[in-house]
């Protein structure tokens, strides 16, 4: 008997101010594919998530998302060019190489959800292209 197949998995991301968060994600680079009064479907390429009109401080401030991209520096330049830190009062950390083989930067959304946007690199001690 064959195993059932999955088509997609999406996280439900909380928002304190639904309208503000919807605009933030569009400015960050996501496409707003669909929206209702309390739920919005965002996508970029084959990646997507659902933004919900739901807020719980403890939940939101402990929620993390990771977006794997092919050019982290281009994403970082986009974040800076859009002025997201000043416009939305969000926190960012510049790109850095991580010992687990990712070069990423950190950005929080207006609700406090932490995003790590990064690309694969060779882990510390390994040459790029070497087997992990």
pLDDT score of 123? 72
pLDDT score of 122? 80
Give the predicted TM-score (pTM) of the model.
0.90
Is 5 inside a domain boundary? no
pLDDT score of 131? 46
* Rounded to 5°, angle at Cα 61 from 58 and 65: 130
Is 130 inside a domain boundary? no
Is the per-residue pLDDT at 70 higher than 80?
A: yes
Domain count, the chain: 1
* Rounded to 5°, angle at Cα 73 from 129 and 108: 115
CA–CA separation, 62 and 76 (whole Å): 23
Which residues form the domain of 92?
12-120
Is 92 inside a domain boundary? yes
- pLDDT tens by residue, 74-111: 999 999 999 999 999 999 999 999 999 999 999 999 99
Is 127 inside a domain boundary? no
CA–CA separation, 5 and 95 (whole Å): 36
Helix axis angle, 18-28 to 72-82, nearest 10°: 130
Is the per-residue pLDDT at 60 higher than 60?
A: yes
CATH of the domain at 97: 3.10.180.10
- pLDDT tens by residue, 18-49: 999 999 999 999 999 999 999 999 999 999 99
Task: Give the dihedral sign, CA 75/68/51/114.
Answer: negative
Cβ-based neighbour number of residue 118 at 10 Å: 23
- pLDDT tens by residue, 109-129: 999 999 999 999 987 666 555
CA–CA separation, 53 and 36 (whole Å): 10
Is 126 inside a domain boundary? no
């Amino acid at each position: 008997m064959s195993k059932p197949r999955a088509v997609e998995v999406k996280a439900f991301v909380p928002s304190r101010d639904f309208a503000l968060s919807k605009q933030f994600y569009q400015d960050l680079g996501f496409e707003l594919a669909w929206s209702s009064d309390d739920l919005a479907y965002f996508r970029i390429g084959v990646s997507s998530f659902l933004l919900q009109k739901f807020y719980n401080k403890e939940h939101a401030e402990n929620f993390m998302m990771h977006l794997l991209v092919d050019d982290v520096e281009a994403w970082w330049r986009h974040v800076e060019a859009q002025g997201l830190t000043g416009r939305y009062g969000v926190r960012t950390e510049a790109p850095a190489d991580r010992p687990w083989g990712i070069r990423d930067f950190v950005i929080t959304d207006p609700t406090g959800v932490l995003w790590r946007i990064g690309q694969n690199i060779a882990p510390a001690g390994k040459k790029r292209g070497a087997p992990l």
